[in-house]
Each structure stands twice: as structure tokens, then as C-alpha cells.
Copies of this chain bind each other. A is one copy, B any other.
Amino acid sequence: MGVKRSRLHACAIVGTTIQTHAAPMTQSIPPSGLQIRSLIKSTGELELRLVSIPTPTPGPNEVLVRVDAAPLNPSDLGLLFGAADMTAAVQVGTQDQPIISARVPEAAIKGMAGRFDQSMAVGNEGAGLVIGAGASDAAQALLGKVVAVLGGAMYSQFRCVPIEQCLPLPSGASAADGASSFVNPMTALAMIETMRAEGHTALVHTAAASNLGVMLNRICLKDQIPLVNIVRSPSQTEILRALGARYICDSSSPTFIQDLTQALSATGATLAFDAIGGGPLAGQILTGMEAVISAKSKEYSRYGSAVHKQVYIYGALGLGPVQIERNIGMTWGVGGWLVFPYLQKLDPAVMRRLKQRVADELRTTFESHYAGELSLAEALHLDTIAVYGKRSTGQKYLINPQKGEVDLA
């Protein structure tokens, strides 16, 4: 198995349109299918490869889904690559059965100990055609339907999942349309639910030009929720401006703190969701909130305002320490926030309402754009990893596990 880096340029990702798949009924269920696996050995070596797994038989309340589209979300890349240094990765194996090998830097190996020597399937979400169903009426009712799935292991050709993890797509919607129905839409909606449940009336969002940020902006415009969008460049400002965002603060601007304070004053936001975490931003948001509240307050308290100010950190775009200055009074909180534990605790009726909204607004509010589509094997080619591994804003890719291998001749 020689290293084959030079031959791979032919499959560089250039497409920006998504191949959509018709959803014909089929009775033939292949006995096995391919699946991407990620393994980190206790020596610190990462190995990515395709494995063939027997196609499972659905239990009474399960369905078998032919996965036609699954996005490469930042959260998936975290599991796929672990802490490995992908800039020094090498590719071995064949083009159709590639194997990627990379090393976890010494300092990060300890943090990976929990997953040592476990071959892990990857892919939080996706969508596809239901080609098999268990005996229950509810399962049978999904046969032949295109469903979005929050199932894990979605970088697979076939997945067997409980029906509760499925969201039937509206008529006419393709698997590609519905591939990102859960992680970003439900995160955005859960942020709104959190805001209401905790008594806030406006929001701050960082890394606001992301796929998620764009959805959140659409929801807030539609629901008339004041939203302060914090971005990190003038070009990201333009993305949000074009989408009608009202409050956009560019943290790379020399007037950022003033702009932020003005936006916080105009919106009254006391809750922020922060995708960055490391560095001073979470603290700057709290400082701005406290300054705005204090300026409007009549009564002095040396403990600062009695209004609770909260930043939830849900991502790790900044890996350094979170730094919180002590000019924010005593009524504040900063903490980690994860959408799935949040959703698990949610009232089932609320959960149904949120899922229904995603289905209803799949091609408006929750529309995703993809920079390209990859087969399972292509997702394990070094040159494609170099592109999608950058996690650039606006450069999200889809895996289509049914896509045939590229002819490199």
C-alpha cells in the first residue's frame, strides 16, 4: 500500500451544485454497505478507513435508511480527526479503499485516552430513503419516504434507526435538502427556546456568518427577536448585511467595543451564544451588557446590576483559555452548552413543535448551502480533507454515500 498523494488532484472539489437523488421505491436491500471509521491508537496514531458492515434488519420500531446525504459539520470533524495533525497526514490504500494515517501531537494524546483503540463510526445527521421498516404501523408508514435522521454513524451507506430519530421530509424535498435538518436547525431553535425559558428577550451570537448563524438570523428576523451578530471580518459583515441582519458587529474593527455596546443597548440582549470560547470575547460581551444595564440603572450597587447576564459557549473555534474581566458585577454566568442534552430534557410537545417547524421551513429558514458533494471514499482523500478540514465559514460539504467512485483516469 504505497502513498498515493500525486494522483489525487483530479478529484479536487470544485462543484457548488448538489446532485439530488430521486427516491424510487426499491425492494432490493444489499447485504452489506460501506461505512467510514475513525480509530485512534494508544500510540497516538489516527487511522481513517472504510469498512464493510452487514446491513442490519430493523426492529419493530426501526427503519432501514439508504443514506443519500450527510453533512460534514464541525462537530463531525472533531470526532473524525480527533486531535490529530491533519496537515501532516498521509494516504495509503487504493482510491476506492483509501486509508488516512495521521498523528495526534504528544501534548494532546492524553485527551484522546477515552477513545483509544475504539473503531468509531462518524456522522451525526443525514437524510435518505427508507428502504426497510419494522413491523409497527409507525415504521411501515415511513417506507418509501425520504427522512432526515439524527442517528450517528451517518457516513454509512445504510443505517438502521429508531423511528423517533427520523423526520419525514415534506413532499418534494430531496435528501440533500434535508441532510442538515437537525444539528444546525435544532441548535438555532434551542437557542431561542433557551432565551425564552431563561427570561431573556434578545440574543447575541458569535461566528454569526456560519451556516448556523445564517439560520439563526432568519429565525430572529421572522420571529422579531433582536439579534446582535458578531462576526470576525468585513466580508462576514457583508454576508449578514445581504441577509437583512440589523445589528452586525465586526470584532476585527477598531470600533468593535463601541459598536457592540450600542447594539446591546438597542436590543437589551442579556444572553449570548458563543461558538468561539477561547480569548476575551465572552468577557467583552458580559462587560458590554453590564455597562448598558448600569448606565440605565438609577440605583447604585457595588455588586453591579441585579440583571442576570449569561454567555453559553457551544463551540471551540478559539482554543485558548476563556478570559472574563471582573467589571461585570456579580450577576452573571458563563458555561458550556450542548444542544443534544438540552433537547433530551425538553418537553416532548415542544420537541415536536420544533421538528415540525424545521420540516415546514426546510427550504426557507433552514436552507443550507454546500460547497460540494463527496463519496465516502472521496471524503478520505488527502486533497479533499485539505479543503473541508479548514472548516471555513460558507464552505460546508456533503457526503453522498451512494455516490459512485470517481474515475481518476
Taking beta carbons and an 8 Å cutoff, which residues of A are in contact with B? 78-79, 82, 111, 113-115, 118, 120, 277-278, 280, 283, 294, 297, 299-304, 306, 313-314, 316, 319-338, 341
What's the Cα separation between A123 and B306 when bound, in Å? 20
Residue of B nearest to A294 (CB): B114
For A338, what are the chain B residues with a Cβ–Cβ distance below 8 Å? 303, 330-331
Q: Which 7 A-B pairs have the closest CB atoms?
A: A333-B335, A114-B300, A330-B336, A115-B300, A322-B324, A321-B323, A321-B325
Do the beta carbons of B335 and A326 come within 8 Å of each other? no
Do the beta carbons of B321 and A331 come within 8 Å of each other? no
What's the Cα separation between A297 and B115 when bound, in Å? 11
- The oligomer's copy count stands at 2
Residue of B nearest to A301 (CB): B114
Do the beta carbons of A337 and B326 come within 8 Å of each other? no
User: In the complex where A114-B294, A302-B78 touch, is A326 in contact with B333 (Cβ < 8 A)?
Assistant: no
User: In the complex where A277-B326, A321-B283 touch, is A334 in contact with B333 (Cβ < 8 A)?
Assistant: yes
Question: How far in angstroms is the closest Cβ of chain B from A221?
Answer: 29
For A325, what are the chain B residues with a Cβ–Cβ distance below 8 Å? 321
Q: Which of B113, B120, B330, B335 contacts A332 (CB 8 A)?
A: B335
For A336, what are the chain B residues with a Cβ–Cβ distance below 8 Å? 303-304, 328-333
Q: Which of A314, A323, A335 has the most C-beta atoms of chain B within 10 angstroms of its own C-beta? A: A335
Q: Which of B278, B300, B306, B324 contacts A321 (CB 8 A)?
A: B324
